[in-house]
Amino acid sequence: MKKSMLGAVACLLLMLSGCSNREAFPVEALDWQLCTVQEQETGEVLFAGPGEDGWPEAEEKALSCVMEAGEITLTDEAKGENWRGTYRQIQAPDHQGTAVYEVAFEDDGEGLLTTGVTRYQNGEEEASLLLDTGDYVLRFSAPLSNESP
């Protein structure tokens, strides 16, 4: 399982690091909102955030992620449920701004989190956060205009 998780993170790193050559950004300063929850084994998108129209078969879910001072909180906006844990950076941002963190949730195990910048063909950029729990990959995004100076 560790090998498959490390392989998935390596793929995520390659995917994110090739997206932009922007400097690193503070993950704590961004408003992270769910894009998708994807099953690792089958690739099926189970949940999609509000406004994510590309996944008609997925159930809509408003989930936010807050990272602050080594603590991470995922919040289901509709149900008011929270999942709390801690994070620790294990790979500092590279020249592309991609960083990797270990994440441990209070009751729900461990995972790896990768942050980076996605640049689209029209020149727009957004911050991307991928949380790999082993069984699922949660993809969050945040506008980079929310950065603190």
The tens digit of pLDDT for each residue in 10-64 reads: 444 444 444 444 455 778 889 999 999 999 999 999 999 999 989 999 999 999 9
- What is the overall mean pLDDT for the chain? 83
Spatial separation of the C-alpha atoms in residues 99 and 94, rounded to whole Å? 7
Do residues 119 and 96 lie in contact, with contact meaning Cβ atoms separated by under 8 Å?
A: no
Do residues 2 and 90 lie in contact, with contact meaning Cβ atoms separated by under 8 Å?
A: no
This prediction's pTM: 0.80
Do residues 123 and 20 lie in contact, with contact meaning Cβ atoms separated by under 8 Å?
A: no
Residue 23's pLDDT is 54
Side chain identity, residue 90:
I
Give the tokens for residue 28.
């704590």
More confident residue, 130 or 77: 130
